[in-house]
Amino acid sequence: MLRPLWVTLIYLAFIILGVAAPFAFSLGYVWVDTFTPQNVVQSIITQIPVSMIMAVLALGSYFMLDRRSPPPVSWQLVLVLLFAAWVTITTAAFAVVPASAWEKWDWAVKTLLFSAFIPFIIRSRVQIEAFLQIYVFSLAVHVVPVGLKTILSGGGYGRSLGIVHGNSGMAEGSMLAAVALMMLPILLFLRQHTLLVPKNSWTSLIYIGFAVITVTCAIGTYARTGMIGMAVVGIALWLRSRHKLLFGVIGVGALLGVMAFTTDAWNSRMSTVATFQSENSAFGRVLIWRWTLGFVAERPMGGGFQAFEINEIRYPSPPGSEQPEIVERGRAFHSIYFEILGEHGWPGLALFLGLVLTSFLNFHRVARWARRTEGMEWLRDLAYALEVSLVTLLACGAFIGIGFQPMLYYMFALSTCLAHQMHRLRQADTVTRQVAGAGAKALAVRSRGRDGGSLIPPPVGAKRS
């Protein structure tokens, strides 16, 4: 009784705070999208379109009240809009299962369009951090219960330890593991550079504890994707670390800890990564990828959303065995790359890879500029953290079909936010230098007795307009 009431009050709090600052509506949308209150509690919130209300408020308040400092048109914006247009075309013109295709299009296109909108509404350091904090604390509701229950009682493949049950979204082990590991670099960044949460030993402990829980959550799902993600995030963090020796020692300690505390069941499941041909779930992935390549050879424009529903995968019977071959119909793509290739063809994959490439370029440019600029350590570390998060998602995504899940597009959008932040900071720097130059000139003019009052213009961009 109290739980639904509490969650409804939190939803209303986002709306009330949005009246004071329009970007709160967009953060409310992120909260609804990630926390999924309609799945967490059964209340009036399940009866109303919570997500649509927040989206309308976010868009409406932006266009009516808050169109300050819009980002310049970027390649990323163009690519994401082209991608949204292309997935609409493939759904309308090339879909092999139109009914299912339009069902997935409905939420996928919203994800794409909202990611295009994020750079317009998230423009300052405070807003970028608020976005990240709300995103990770919303994800906490899915990650923390699994992580804590794994510590207390051990996890298990297919065991439902989270708040949301089922086998889709955050209830699906592989996706949960990928998301949990994606959070790790962001949490380490927030621990070091947070402005919004007071910095002290308690809050530092909360972030470190939360980071440890993300790893135990990934272990507790028993997903092999989690193990691959742990390796990738560990190596990427080590490469980006400024204290490689210390980080290496901690990493080796963590690895020994994982080996000591994980059960035989976990170890035997992980060992199937190497012997995938003897394991149906892993071998099925290889077969579906082969099918996808054959499918796009015939239909280079893809088969629209949910094209996998028409496939038929035949598992060959072991040599010398009398068992008949197993036939599986409608097996999912289990990879973002094959998902996008199968559904939206080569043009769709090219657009998606373009988004990935521009994101990495953005992170690289921002980190390079911030490294050389005094006082920009936060921007450099944030670019590194998000880069590692994106690498982790892309690595895990090679084995799970999360091609249209919001986390990827949030990373793309944040790369634009960071690039925009760098661009405006550079502009402000240039103006400051020009103002300093103009000030020196004004002093020279005054010293010659031509007093014309202040010649120094107010610094543009240094103050909110």
Residue from the set 104, 110, 123, 334 that interacts with another protein by CB under 8 A: 123
Query: Shortest gap between Cβ of 214 and another protein (angstroms)?
Result: 13
What is the residue-wise DSSP string for 85-138? HHHHHIIIII-SSHHHHHHHHHHHHHHHHHHHHHHHH--SHHHHHHHHHHHHHH
Residue 194 or 280 with smaller CB distance to another protein: 194
Give the x/- contact pattern for another protein in 146-165, rule: CB under 8 A: --xx-------------x--
Q: Which stretch binds another protein (CB under 8 A): 139-147, 168-176, 250-258, 273-281?
A: 139-147
Residue 112 or 130 with smaller CB distance to another protein: 130
Residue from the set 87, 96, 109, 140 that interacts with another protein by CB under 8 A: 140
Residue from the set 15, 17, 258, 287 that interacts with another protein by CB under 8 A: 17
The answer to the question of residue 464 lying near another protein (CB under 8 A) is yes
Q: Which stretch binds another protein (CB under 8 A): 172-180, 301-309, 400-408, 417-425?
A: 417-425
The answer to the question of residue 145 lying near another protein (CB under 8 A) is yes
Question: What is the distance between the alpha carbons of residues 427 and 434, in angstroms, rounded to a whole number?
Answer: 10
The answer to the question of residue 138 lying near another protein (CB under 8 A) is yes
The β-bridge relationship of strands 312-315 and 326-329 is antiparallel
Query: Shortest gap between Cβ of 10 and another protein (angstroms)?
Result: 5
DSSP annotation of 310: G
Residue 36 or 91 with smaller CB distance to another protein: 36
Residue from the set 46, 271, 278, 427 that interacts with another protein by CB under 8 A: 427
The answer to the question of residue 246 lying near another protein (CB under 8 A) is no
Question: What is the distance between the alpha carbons of residues 128 and 144, in angstroms, rounded to a whole number?
Answer: 23
Give the x/- contact pattern for another protein in 18-57, rule: CB under 8 A: --xx-xx--x---x---x----x-----------------
Q: Are 185 and 237 in contact (CB under 8 A)?
A: yes
Residue 140 or 394 with smaller CB distance to another protein: 140
- The burial class, CB within 10 Å (0-12 / 13-18 / 19+), for 197 is middle
Question: Which 384-403 positions form the footprint of another protein (CB under 8 A)?
Answer: none
Question: What is the distance between the alpha carbons of residues 344 and 303, in angstroms, rounded to a whole number?
Answer: 6
Question: What is the distance between the alpha carbons of residues 452 and 377, in angstroms, rounded to a whole number?
Answer: 41
The answer to the question of residue 127 lying near another protein (CB under 8 A) is yes
What is the residue-wise DSSP string for 194-237? -SSS--SHHHHHHHHHHHHHHHHHHHHTT-HHHHHHHHHHHHHH
Amino acid letter for position 432: T
Query: Shortest gap between Cβ of 32 and another protein (angstroms)?
Result: 11
Residue 82 or 206 with smaller CB distance to another protein: 206
Of 211, 133, 143, residue with least CA distance to 171? 143
Of 244, 182, 3, 23, residue with least CA distance to 118? 23
- The burial class, CB within 10 Å (0-12 / 13-18 / 19+), for 204 is middle
Query: Shortest gap between Cβ of 460 and another protein (angstroms)?
Result: 10
Residue from the set 372, 448, 450, 463 that interacts with another protein by CB under 8 A: 463
Query: Shortest gap between Cβ of 28 and another protein (angstroms)?
Result: 8
Question: What is the distance between the alpha carbons of residues 392 and 233, in angstroms, rounded to a whole number?
Answer: 6
Residue from the set 50, 96, 101, 130 that interacts with another protein by CB under 8 A: 130
Question: What is the distance between the alpha carbons of residues 57 and 117, in angstroms, rounded to a whole number?
Answer: 13
Residue from the set 56, 65, 85, 126 that interacts with another protein by CB under 8 A: 126
The answer to the question of residue 129 lying near another protein (CB under 8 A) is yes
Q: Which stretch binds another protein (CB under 8 A): 129-137, 221-229, 251-259, 267-275?
A: 129-137
- The burial class, CB within 10 Å (0-12 / 13-18 / 19+), for 365 is middle
Q: Are 317 and 325 in contact (CB under 8 A)?
A: yes
Query: Shortest gap between Cβ of 157 and another protein (angstroms)?
Result: 20
Question: What is the distance between the alpha carbons of residues 358 and 214, in angstroms, rounded to a whole number?
Answer: 28
The answer to the question of residue 133 lying near another protein (CB under 8 A) is yes
Residue from the set 5, 195, 205, 440 that interacts with another protein by CB under 8 A: 195
Question: Which 78-117 positions form the footprint of another protein (CB under 8 A)?
Answer: none
Question: Which 330-389 positions form the footprint of another protein (CB under 8 A)?
Answer: 375-376, 378
Q: Which two tokens stand for residue 321?
A: 């065995």
Question: What is the distance between the alpha carbons of residues 27 and 196, in angstroms, rounded to a whole number?
Answer: 14
Question: What is the distance between the alpha carbons of residues 286 and 402, in angstroms, rounded to a whole number?
Answer: 17
What SS3 state is found at 315? strand
For residue 314, report the phi and psi dihedrals to the nearest 5 degrees: -110, 120
Residues that bind another protein (CB under 8 A): 3, 6-7, 10, 13-14, 17, 20-21, 23-24, 27, 31, 35, 40, 69, 123-127, 129-130, 133-134, 137-138, 140-141, 144-145, 148-149, 163, 195-197, 375-376, 378, 421, 424-425, 427-428, 451-454, 461-464
